Amino acid sequence: MAEDLEKTIKKVILDTRVEREHLLEILWSVQRSERKIDHNAIKLISKLTGISTLDIEATASFYHFFTEEHAGDITIHLNDSGTSYLAGATEVENAFKRELGIKFGEVTQDQRFGLFFTSCIGMCDQEPAALINDVVFTNLTDSKIASIISQLKSGIAIEKIIGEGEGNNALELIKSEISNNIRNSGEVFFNDKYVKGEALKNALTKSGDEIIAEVKSSGLRGRGGAGFSAGLKWEFCKKNIGDHYVIANIDEGEPGTFKDRILLTQYPQQIFEGMTIAALAIGAERGIIYLRAEYKYLKNYLENCLEEMRKANLLGEKIQSSSFNFDISIKIGAGAYICGEESALIESAEGKRGEPRNRPPFPVEKGFLGNPTVVNNPETFAAVTSIFREGADWFAALGTKESTGTKLFSISGDCERPGVYEFQFGITVEEVLKEVGAKNTFAIQIGGPSGKLISQKFFSRKICFEDLPTGGALTIFDNHRDLLKMVKLYMDFFVEESCGFCIPCRAGNVLLQKTLTKILDKKGTKQDIELLQECSSVMKIASRCGLGLSSSNPVTSSFENFPEIYDNLLSKESFVSTFDMSQAVAESCKYVNRENTFNQEGSHE
Amino acid sequence: MANKPIVATASLAGCFGCHMSLLDIDERILDLIQLVEFDKSPITDIKNFERKCDIGIIEGGCCNSENVENLKLFRKNCNILVSLGECAIMGGLPAMRNGIPIQECLEEAYLNGVTVDVGDEPIIPNDEELPMILDRVYPCHEVVKIDYHIPGCAPNADLIWDFLTTLVTGKDLELKYETLKYD
């Protein structure tokens, strides 16, 4: 066994050269073959790589998909995000438990199956969804699970069980049962105007500064959510000295967001070409695709696309017979929402724990391996490709003055046609709702959990950076949904995903989650509302990165726009105790064999 | 004399450090007893509540059923209830066991720990008179309503003095930066 493991690790090392940045790859190879990364494996990796055992353990323990205990030969990860519950995840959860005879977080006695929860896997338009050994299963139902599990038990390979996917998902290299759900056509992304290499050839006639000037004049803002000017970011990066890097941030982990998945499936060349143009502008020779582990099913397909581009001399050495060299490699994450924060992503790409760095210095100054690095959303890179095909003026004429171009929207929740839409910036919320077939809409979570929960009074507002900014995720709730429960689910997510480095985020999210539970149990008082507000405001000031700075948004925005969902549940008393004596002594009574005669209040029955 | 506010104190799952800190107000204790009258408290050794008190001061959180009963008794008999120090406010050092199963805690303390006398046959104490240990250490405000929280481990004597004198004289207490920052 140990020899096999050594072979497995050595194979990765041979493929990649032993450098710290490949640690995640090595850990993945061990997790995949051994179904766990225990201390023996860590000692072996340490021996073969020279990285200390403590360092390896610290890194492995950070990521959700790496486990110290055996995770089952077949590891099931069911998405437990809010949208999953809207679509009926509770039924699916029970079906898994029934079919396998174990609870979530457990492994069957014969170690064949492991059952776990995971955060949003980017399938919000086809929930409930689960990953089974990296294979995505969508639109799960009770009977579908019964069938899947019985087939797996009879030894049928996972790949043979899945249904047929839509569009490129049906390709041999992807072979997933996922639907793209592209719901409209658009000027920038959803059309067939793309001709491979056209934009890059155009860019190759310009100098770096000219390219940057063109991106600036197009008004393109980063598509991740913050909306920082892409041209300006490139300009800052170019000015700094070092080996420049270009990174595409495909750690699309914000629950409710899945548009990058569609870009990657249908239009990956446009992303790669945009990255190449960025590299040409700032003088980079190496690009990295940081792909979230949940999208690993796309890796072979993307590798193949890159290979085709190399063959067409759009990547590699002396691109289009110029002196420009650039190539792109793919790095896979291991399950950590925080790695969507650019400095955490860089740490993770370097093979370390995905903890955010102190900023400044920003990545444009000291990014990957301490070098000037541009990190952009894949949608930003794809937009760049269209700009160098159609021109900056064309792009700037789309959308609004401050928010040019079109935006991809991930639409999920209560509507007839969930999926991905391309709209020009400036579209009103109302227009979006009409387009997607949403009826009796009561609230919308705009921009994912770290965005805002908006009410009907916002529906006439325009979606753009001048008015209602968003990274493009809209989760729609109609009037029969329990909003406060959704808010609590969002807080469950942040409690799970906080990296734990700084106290405001580590403790604050837990306090918010516990207080919401108390209110949902009708034990909340006015004091608890004050605690929610106080705690949120501390987190917004004192957290170390964007996660903690924005994770209280579901609470603050729901309180601002839907105060009644709190008021209706509040107790009139000034204090309601959540303490239950009978429950608190149950464990010790059981252990010492004493009868538990306490009631909830603490008197003897 | 009759109008002096009546103060009661108790130490639950604490180390008595907060009470020591109260005594650290030194000779000001003479001024304090001009202002208030102590009733049930380890300082007076009065064991039972015979009358309603104005201010109850609690050191320590709740680690067993008796702590809870005691705390509830204080809440019933005191108009104002104060959590004094880290353990009462957050569970403090005793809360380090939170997250460890009871069985493991008891076995470590009474059977396997390095300080267990190996000469005897070690047992887990289980006399009927003994209170039951709780699944975790609870801060006081999760069990009853707490009106004021005085931070510190232990809160320093000046803070306790300032708090009690401002409370009985009806002034506002200003928490200085140093009283909240410890590193």
pLDDT greater at residue A14 or residue A163? A163
Domain count, chain A: 5
Residue B21: pLDDT band (50, 70, 90) is very high
CB contact under 8 A, B145 and A602: no
CB contact under 8 A, A589 and B143: no
Q: What is the pLDDT of residues B101-129, one digit of tens each?
A: 999 999 999 999 888 876 768 888 889 89
CB contact under 8 A, B65 and A594: no
Compute the nearest-CA separation of A420 from chain B (Å).
43
Q: Residue A465 domain-assigned?
A: yes
pLDDT of residue B1: 43
Following CA atoms A416, A420, A422, A427 in sequence, which dihedral angle do they give, to the nearest 10 degrees? 50
CB contact under 8 A, B103 and A602: no
Considering chain A, what is the average pLDDT of its residues?
A: 94
**Chain A residues within an 8 Å CB radius of B136:** 584
Lowest mean pLDDT among A28-42, A470-484, B158-172: B158-172
pLDDT of residue A145: 96
DSSP per-residue letters across A297-342: GGHHHHHHHHHHHHHTTSSBSSGGGSS--BEEEEEE--S-GGGGSH
Give the Cα separation of A416 and B72 in Å (integer).
54
Size of interface A-B (CB pairs under 8 A): 53
A24 and A101 in a single domain? The answer is no
Q: Which amino acid is at A457?
A: K
Name residues whose C-beta falls within 8 Å of residue A318's C-beta, 6 or more positions apart in sequence.
A324, A325
pLDDT for residue A318 is more than 90:
yes
List the helix and strand counts (H, then E) for chain B: 8, 7
A287 and A264 in a single domain? The answer is yes
A22 and A158 in a single domain? The answer is no
> Looking at the DSSP assignment, which residues form a beta bridge with residue A136?
A131
DSSP state of A544: S
List the 112-151 stretch of B: residues with Cβ below 8 A of A.
Answer: 124, 126, 132-136, 138, 142-145
Mean pLDDT across A402-415: 96
Q: Residue A185 domain-assigned?
A: no
Residue B62: pLDDT band (50, 70, 90) is very high
CB contact under 8 A, B134 and A574: no
Mean pLDDT across B144-170: 91
Option in A574, A585, A592 nearest B65 (CB) = A585
pLDDT greater at residue A602 or residue A537? A537
Name residues whose C-beta falls within 8 Å of residue A445's C-beta, 6 or more positions apart in sequence.
A82, A256, A413, A451, A452, A453, A454, A473, A474, A475, A477, A486, A490, A554
With 0-12 CB in 10 A as exposed, 13-18 as middle and 19+ as buried, what is A218?
A: buried
Last residue of a domain, one of A369, A396, A423: A396
- Best interface-test mutation with B: which of A526, A581, A594, A596 has the largest number of B CBs within 10 A? A581
Q: Residue A411 domain-assigned?
A: yes
DSSP per-residue letters across A448-467: STTSEEE-GGGTTSB-STTS
CB contact under 8 A, B138 and A584: yes
Compute the nearest-CA separation of A412 from chain B (Å).
37
A464 and A493 in a single domain? The answer is no
Give the Cα separation of A519 and A502 in Å (integer).
26
Compute the nearest-CA separation of A453 from chain B (Å).
30
Option in B102, B142, B145 nearest A588 (CB) = B102
**Chain B residues within an 8 Å CB radius of A581:** 65, 68
Residue of A nearest to B68 (CA): A602
Last residue of a domain, one of A462, A481, A500: A481
pLDDT of residue B182: 64
Q: What is the pLDDT of residues A551-565, one digit of tens each?
A: 999 999 999 999 999
Compute the nearest-CA separation of B105 from chain A (Å).
10
pLDDT for residue A17 is more than 70:
no
Q: Residue A476 domain-assigned?
A: yes
- CATH code of the domain containing A120: 3.40.30.10
What value of ipTM does the predicted structure carry?
A: 0.90
Q: Residue A352 domain-assigned?
A: yes
Residue of B nearest to A583 (CA): B135
Q: Answer for the pair A16, A5: CB distance below 8 angstroms, yes or no.
A: no
A205 and A327 in a single domain? The answer is yes
What is the C-alpha R_g of chain B? 18
A464 and A514 in a single domain? The answer is no
Give the Cα separation of A88 and A338 in Å (integer).
27
Mean pLDDT across B143-158: 92
Option in B69, B72, B145 nearest A575 (CB) = B145
pLDDT for residue A314 is more than 90:
yes
Give the Cα separation of A233 and A135 in Å (integer).
36
pLDDT of residue B33: 87
Pair of tokens at residue A443: 């609230």
Name residues whose C-beta falls within 8 Å of residue A498's C-beta, 6 or more positions apart in sequence.
A338, A505, A506, A509, A547, A548, A551
Lowest mean pLDDT among A21-25, A95-99, B118-122: B118-122
**Chain A residues within an 8 Å CB radius of B142:** 577-579
CB contact under 8 A, A585 and B134: yes
A40 and A96 in a single domain? The answer is no
- Best interface-test mutation with B: which of A585, A594, A603, A604 has the largest number of B CBs within 10 A? A585
**In chain A, what percentage of residues exceed pLDDT 70?**
99
Q: Answer for the pair A468, A428: CB distance below 8 angstroms, yes or no.
A: no
Full residue range of the structural domain in which residue A10 is found: 2-62
- CATH code of the domain containing A426: 3.10.20.600
Mean pLDDT across B147-159: 91
**How many CB atoms are closer than 10 A to CB B102?**
21
**Nearest one of B14, B6, B23, B13 to B156, comparing CA atoms:** B23
Residue of B nearest to A592 (CA): B126
Domains and CATH numbers, chain B: 6-95+137-180 (3.40.50.700)
pLDDT of residue B116: 84
Compute the nearest-CA separation of A585 from chain B (Å).
5
Compute the nearest-CA separation of B142 from chain A (Å).
6
pLDDT of residue A531: 94
Q: What is the pLDDT of residues B65-96, one digit of tens each?
A: 999 999 999 999 999 999 999 999 999 999 99
Q: Residue A188 domain-assigned?
A: no
**In chain B, what percentage of residues exceed pLDDT 70?**
97
- CATH code of the domain containing A280: 3.40.50.11540
Compute the nearest-CA separation of B153 from chain A (Å).
19
CB contact under 8 A, B135 and A589: no
A346 and A443 in a single domain? The answer is no
Compute the nearest-CA separation of A586 from chain B (Å).
8
A215 and A344 in a single domain? The answer is yes
Strand ranges for A258-355 from DSSP E: 284-291, 327-332
Q: Residue A445 domain-assigned?
A: yes
A255 and A368 in a single domain? The answer is yes
Residue of B nearest to A579 (CA): B143
Lowest mean pLDDT among A288-292, A436-440, A572-576: A572-576
CB contact under 8 A, A587 and B101: yes
Pair of tokens at residue A361: 């210095």
pLDDT of residue A242: 94
**Chain B residues within an 8 Å CB radius of A585:** 65, 132-135
CB contact under 8 A, B142 and A578: yes
Q: Answer for the pair B156, B179: CB distance below 8 angstroms, yes or no.
A: yes
Q: Residue A354 domain-assigned?
A: yes
A87 and A145 in a single domain? The answer is yes
**In chain A, what percentage of residues exceed pLDDT 90?**
88
Q: Answer for the pair A220, A395: CB distance below 8 angstroms, yes or no.
A: yes
A432 and A349 in a single domain? The answer is no
Compute the nearest-CA separation of B24 from chain A (Å).
32
Give the Cα separation of B107 and A79 in Å (integer).
38
**Chain A residues within an 8 Å CB radius of B111:** none
